[in-house]
């Protein structure tokens, strides 16, 4: 019987150490990790229109890329050399017969006949830069609700002797890569 009384006293002592008056409170930590993230909303078609082999002027075009990123994301946008090219200078448009028409993509408008003097938008390897480049301010997203528009400028140099025809179409495919931290 004495052992039962000791056990009952020990149980009462243990339970009173854990319990107290109502209410009881404690702190609970709550947290979340938010990683930088981006999405490409659109990468529009850059159409040069008609190329005139007899014109002394280059042929220009432009297109836009729209991206949205989480606030504070530091963003870099790169463009590939294209599906037809083995270098960035020049990039090439091809027709179904494999004929080529040289062109390039730039960070600013280039309008001279040789399409020279512009900064080639590529993957950052020489002679190209990514956007933003050393001459432009950092690209930092302000809100996931605010798309960041970027303009791609294209230029086809004049004086190219290329195959033409009623339906001769020259094309290329560029991959847009958005990197972010």
Mean pLDDT of 159-180: 92
pLDDT of residue 161 exceeding 80, the answer is: yes
Q: What is the pLDDT of residue 18?
A: 63
Mean of all residue pLDDT scores within the chain: 87
Write a three-state SS string for 133-174.
CCCCCCCECCCCCCCEEEEEEEEECCCCCCCCCCCCCCECCC
Per-residue pLDDT of 79-138, as tens digits, reads: 999 999 999 999 999 999 999 999 999 999 998 999 998 999 999 999 999 998 766 767
Q: What is the pLDDT of residue 4?
A: 46
pLDDT of residue 15 exceeding 80, the answer is: no
| pTM score of the predicted model | 0.81
Domains of the chain in start order, with CATH, are 44-180 (2.60.40)
């Amino acid at each position: 019987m004495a052992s039962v009384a000791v056990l009952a006293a020990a149980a009462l002592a243990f339970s009173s150490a854990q319990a107290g008056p109502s209410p009881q409170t404690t702190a609970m930590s709550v947290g979340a990790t938010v990683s930088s993230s981006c999405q490409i909303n659109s990468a529009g078609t850059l159409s040069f229109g008609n190329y005139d082999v007899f014109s002394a002027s280059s042929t220009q075009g432009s297109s836009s890329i729209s991206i949205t990123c989480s606030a504070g994301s530091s963003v870099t946008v790169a463009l590939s050399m294209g599906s037809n090219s083995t270098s960035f200078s020049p990039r090439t448009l091809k027709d179904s017969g494999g004929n080529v028409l040289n062109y390039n993509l730039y960070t600013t408008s280039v309008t001279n006949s040789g399409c020279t003097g512009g900064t080639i938008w590529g993957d950052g390897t020489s002679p190209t830069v990514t956007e933003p480049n050393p001459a432009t301010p950092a690209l930092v997203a302000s809100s996931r609700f605010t798309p960041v528009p970027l303009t791609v400028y294209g230029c086809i140099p004049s004086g190219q002797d290329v195959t033409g025809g009623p339906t001769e179409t020259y094309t290329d495919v560029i991959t847009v890569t958005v990197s972010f931290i």
